A = this chain, B = another copy of it.
Amino acid sequence: MNSELNYSTLVKKTIRLALLEDIGHGDITSSLIVPHSSKAKARVFAKEDLILAGMPFVKEVFAALDPDVREKTFFKEGTALKKGDVIAEISGRARSILAGERVSLNILQRMSGIATLTRTYVEKVSGLPVRIADTRKTAPGLRFMEKYGVRTGGGANHRFGLYDGILIKDNHIKVAGSVRKAIKCAKKAHHLMKIEVEVKNIKELNEALDAGADIVMLDNMSPEDMAKAAGLAKGRVLLEASGNVTLDTVRSIAETGVDIISIGALTHSARAMDISMKITRSKQFP
């Protein structure tokens, strides 16, 4: 779901919260050292190779702080950068640039980290008819930004939250009593939604197929079972592999014939990329 309205609303809320926790009652150091009227230029640059993601959010950071700060970007989102590449040039009041520096970099480092890790997974399965997808295992408050990072790295988004898709998981099945009963309940949904169900073995897969599931998630199955599942269900329902996927195992999982591979680590365990901001010029106006 690409709703601009709420996408931007939630991102703006997170950014304001991040500025609030970092700046609080104010940046004491800058207020003492940097004259009110000083203008500056700063460069943001990559300190290692990375896939760039996050500059639109950096613009939101400065827009929230000071609408007169300008950002000039030199690469499109998703570009593979080399160590030393200048990502952007920020210009405006020096105090505003310094107040937004850390929050901007924290976002850029994290989203580029996610895009870079996603790209690595996507390249591992190149040539195969499978999508690398994210999960809801994102940092609290950063769901939209992190899923953007995954898209920028070439991955696909799964549902955004509990509100935009029916996905019956193990705990629902536990409450309902069985895969069959859970699917039967879900069929009471309004007529515009499909039903995905998580299964942990071939028996449950068959139950799901019988009960009329539209999509089946194979949870933590062995590659052998996944291949068997694909044999049984391919074409009848969409198949999603999930659980314990690593860079070492992703290609062999893809080769079992599943349609989607979803990976929590894309968002919850990506390493931050090393990115810095340096003021290159400053001058004081009267």
- When chains A and B are docked, how far (Å) is the Cα of A13 from the Cα of B17? 8
**B29 pairs with A167, CB closer than 8 A:** yes
CA distance A94 to B175 in the complex (A): 8
Given contacts A189-B32, A269-B271, contact A26 B3 (CB under 8 A): yes
The size of the chain A interface, using a CB distance under 8 A, is: 100
Q: Using a CB-CB cutoff of 8 Å, which residues 42-83 of chain A contact chain B?
A: 42, 65
Q: Provide the A2-20 mask, 1 if CB < 8 A to any CB of B, else 0.
A: 1111110010011101111
Assembled-state Cα–Cα distance A186/B5 (Å): 19
- State in angstroms the CA–CA spacing of A36 and B3 once bound together: 11
Given A14-B141, A33-B185, A106-B268, 20 more A-B residue pairs with CB atoms under 8 Å apart are A2-B31, A3-B27, A4-B26, A4-B36, A5-B23, A5-B26, A6-B26, A7-B26, A18-B140, A23-B163, A24-B162, A25-B164, A27-B162, A32-B186, A32-B189, A98-B171, A159-B190, A192-B196, A192-B214, A269-B271
Q: Can you list 12 A-B pairs, Cβ within 8 angstroms, ordered by A?
A: A3-B26, A3-B27, A18-B141, A25-B163, A26-B163, A27-B163, A102-B162, A107-B140, A109-B137, A171-B279, A191-B238, A268-B272
